[in-house]
Structures are given as structure tokens and as C-alpha cells.
Amino acid sequence: MSEIRNLINITDFTVEEIDELIDVANDIVENHSEYEDICNHKKLGTLFFEPSTRTRLSFEAAMLELGGSVLGFSEAGSSSAAKGESVSDTIQTVGCYVDIIAMRHPKEGAPIVGAKRTTVPIINAGDGGHFHPTQTLTDLLTISRKKGRLNNMTIGLCGDLKFGRTVHSLIEAMLRYEGIKFVLISPEELQVPDYVKASMDKAGAEWVEVESLEDAMPELDILYMTRIQRERFFNEEDYVRLKDSYILDLDKLSNAKEDLTIMHPLPRVNEISTEVDDDPRACYFFQALCGKHIRMALILKLLGIKREA
């Protein structure tokens, strides 16, 4: 029997494996009918101990479009966690019912605990302020579709870089490509954690920390906006003080490149003004669509299913 693969951290996959996932995601769009029944009789469990719209629904849509079915819960309160059951017991139980599990949990590392207790593949759909590898796969597919490459570009990451798990995973992923410069735009209190800085230094990456979005704008190829992560703040006062740190509007885009790609994992609160949505550089809803395609490719990979050539 082949070894069970999980996706806990983006670096669980090699760059070559990520390329393959991107190819399959593109093939799914081009040859959609070939994939319609490919996961017949397979079940995906979606265990969401924390709220989600895009991640959970795109996983569910992905499995349904592959001809499989989905079961699970969308909040801890409607699972036995409300009765005091441990994560590992919940996972071990659900692993008896499904073929693959996508889980989100507010505690960093929870999916690792889960993966130890089951023999079905586990996908980390976000663990606290730590990592969010499937958002990163989504982001990589979006960048590849928009730019035609994943190397040689300047990426501005703006907002809550401390608690924003999508930022941490995206940096980890992009460190493996040539010629990437990171411009980290945040208030001092919301800078990326030290372990992310250590990874960038270890990889010999070029990175700078700045506070002004306007000053950084002209050199950016990608602008990755994020919301201030209210639920991970220790007190409301700090959140209120920092919540309006960055609001991207058309005025701020006046000195941006014409082929800038504006991304956001969503949900947005107010950090991108809605007037930006009609700008051709705004890609965040396209990004949400990419999320479904790449999750279809991911489910196939972890289940070991390929379309017949």
C-alpha cells in the first residue's frame, strides 16, 4: 500500500508537485467532462472548527464537481467538540466514515495531531495564525494564471502580517522560486513573526519591511492585501487602533504598475475599497475561483486518482 500523503504545510509538496497540481487544475478547466465522475463513491469530510466561506465551500464544490460527496460540520458548536470531545477523537472517528478530510482549527498544529490519529489524508484548511497551505496553492495558481510564471517578481504583502496565516504560507512557498523580492507592508506591531523572517534569511531571500503602502506601490508586481485578524488580537483596543491602517483605493493605485495583480484571500472588511473591484488589476474574486480548481486537483492527488490519458 502506498504511503498516505497529507498537506499540513505548503513545503510538504515539492515545487515539482506544485507544478503538477497547477497543470491538473488547468486541465480540469480545459477538459471538465473528463473529471465529472472521477471521484464517484469517494467522500470528503469537512471539519471546520472555525468559520469559513471560501475554503469550506470551495472544498465542497470541488468534491461535488468531481462526482464525490461531502459530509461534515461548519462550526465546532455543532460537533461533539461542544461536549468536550478532543480533536484527535473527532478525527479518528470521522476517518472511519470518509476517504479524505479537510480541517480548520483555531489552534496551531491541530492538523498534525489529527493526522496522527487517522489513516485517511488530512488537509490543513487553516490552523490558527500559523499556516493555510490550500490558500497558498490557490494563490500560486492565481499568480501563474495571471503572470505566466512564479519567479522573478516583487510581491508586496500588506496588512496584518503577524496573524495572517495566508501570508506565512505564501512566503514559505515563494521562497523556493528564483528572483522573488518581498516588500512587507504593515504597522510595526503587525510585522511577520520571527520564524518567518528566519525562513526568509535562511533561503537568502530579498525582503524589506516598510510602513507606507503608497511608497512601496510603484515597484510591485503583486499586491497581496489582508484584513486585520480581529479574532486573533488579545484586546479590542489594539484592534480598533490598527483596523484602518491600510485602505486600498483608486487614488493609491495611481502610481502602480499597469499590470499589477491585486490579490486578497478574502474575506475583506474595508482594506480594499469597493471602487477597486472594477479595476482590471483586481483579481481577488478570480482568486476565489482558482481556489476551487486547485482544490479539485489536490483532492485527486491525495486520493491517488488520475484521469485516463
What is the binding site for ligand NCD (CB under 6 A)? 54-55, 126, 132, 135, 165-166, 226-227, 265-266
State in angstroms the smallest separation of the CB of 125 from ligand NCD: 8
State in angstroms the smallest separation of the CB of 294 from ligand NCD: 12
State in angstroms the smallest separation of the CB of 178 from ligand NCD: 27
Residue 70: partners with Cβ closer than 8 Å, 6 or more residues away: 43, 44, 45, 46, 59, 60, 63, 64
Closer by beta carbon to ligand NCD, 99 or else 139: 139
User: Rounded to an integer, what distance in angstroms lies between the CA atom of residue 87 and that of residue 149?
Assistant: 39
State in angstroms the smallest separation of the CB of 132 from ligand NCD: 5
User: Rounded to an integer, what distance in angstroms lies between the CA atom of residue 75 and that of residue 249?
Assistant: 34
Pairing state between β 122-127 and 180-185:
unpaired
Residue 264 grid cell: 486578497
Closer by beta carbon to ligand NCD, 95 or else 291: 291
User: Rounded to an integer, what distance in angstroms lies between the CA atom of residue 252 and that of residue 215?
Assistant: 10
State in angstroms the smallest separation of the CB of 131 from ligand NCD: 9
Sign of torsion, CA 102 103 108 112?
A: negative
User: Rounded to an integer, what distance in angstroms lies between the CA atom of residue 24 and that of residue 210?
Assistant: 37
User: Rounded to an integer, what distance in angstroms lies between the CA atom of residue 280 and that of residue 287?
Assistant: 13
Closer by beta carbon to ligand NCD, 93 or else 191: 191
Closer by beta carbon to ligand NCD, 9 or else 226: 226
SS3 of residue 132 by DSSP: coil
Sign of torsion, CA 116 121 124 125?
A: negative
Pairing state between β 261-263 and 206-210:
unpaired
State in angstroms the smallest separation of the CB of 17 from ligand NCD: 21
Nearest-CB residue to ligand NCD?
A: 265
Closer by beta carbon to ligand NCD, 59 or else 207: 59
Alpha carbon dihedral 294, 297, 302, 307, in 10-degree steps, equals 180
Closer by beta carbon to ligand NCD, 144 or else 166: 166
Closer by beta carbon to ligand NCD, 42 or else 105: 105
State in angstroms the smallest separation of the CB of 3 from ligand NCD: 28
